[in-house]
Copies of this chain bind each other. A is one copy, B any other.
Amino acid sequence: MIEVVAFDGDDTLWHHERIFTDISARFRELLKHHVDGNILDEVLLATERSNLKFFGYGVKGFGLSLIETALDVCDGEITGAEVATMLDWIKEMLGDPVELLPGVEETVEALRTTHRLGIVTKGDLFDQEGKIARSGLGERFDHVAIVSEKDETTYLRVFADWGVSPERVLMVGNSVRSDIEPVLAIGGQAVHVPYDITWQHEVVDAPQSDFPVFDDVRRVLGHVERLGRS
């Protein structure tokens, strides 16, 4: 029996990765006179990963990594105007309107009549709080956890805070690495609802477990019902 259905935020409840993709394209355009686009993507990813230990996840750290990457590939030959453009992008990302993914609203509305609902999302605290508020979903969720890392320890702590044992949680998310595998590892249930784009850092080549993969979040409703019956 499932007691709590927990959702990831970015790219599960609302669009997120597409603005990164958009900004990355503009970044390639901005620096195309200095560097090939594919190389730029690789340097950016490496910089982001190496900076995770300083910045953690989130848009502000991405912005700082973006500027650092530009300095690297241009060997310091960057103009003030180019840096200013990047700062504008960061603010644009932080102010990006929150657009719910198809089927999210009706799925949440239906589930909340029968289950407690939670959000577990990672990234910048202030940014994620703003997105939850702007999504209009905040009031419909019983629990919200904004976390710096989504690993087994984090999920154990979050579910304990919520007063539910992992066996009675179903986690729904787009990232196998962050939403699915750690929840399965602590005895929870999980459903993968892939998004069109996955950040390279989140890609898992060979998932270690079996789990349902749904192309539409609305299919979570039937899944929850089946789990309840078994």
Contacts and interface: CB of A to CB of B under 8 A. Distances in A.
Interface of A: 51, 54-58, 60-61, 63-64, 67-68, 71, 74-81, 83-84, 87, 90-91, 94-95, 124-127, 129, 146-148, 161
Contact of A126 (B57, B63, B71, B84): B57
Given A76-B80, A124-B125, 18 more contacts: A54-B91, A54-B94, A54-B95, A56-B125, A56-B126, A60-B60, A60-B64, A60-B124, A63-B64, A64-B64, A64-B87, A64-B90, A67-B67, A71-B80, A76-B81, A78-B80, A125-B146, A125-B147
A72 to B, nearest CB: 9
A78 to B, nearest CB: 5
A102 to B, nearest CB: 28
Nearest to A87: B68
Copies of this chain in the oligomer: 2
A145 B78 CA distance: 40
A63 B161 CA distance: 33
A83 to B, nearest CB: 6
A182 B57 CA distance: 30
Given A56-B124, A148-B126, A83 B78 contact: yes
B78 A76 contact: no
Contacts of A51: 91
Contacts of A146: 125
A64 to B, nearest CB: 6
Contacts of A127: 56
Contacts of A75: 80
A64 B68 CA distance: 12
A133 to B, nearest CB: 11
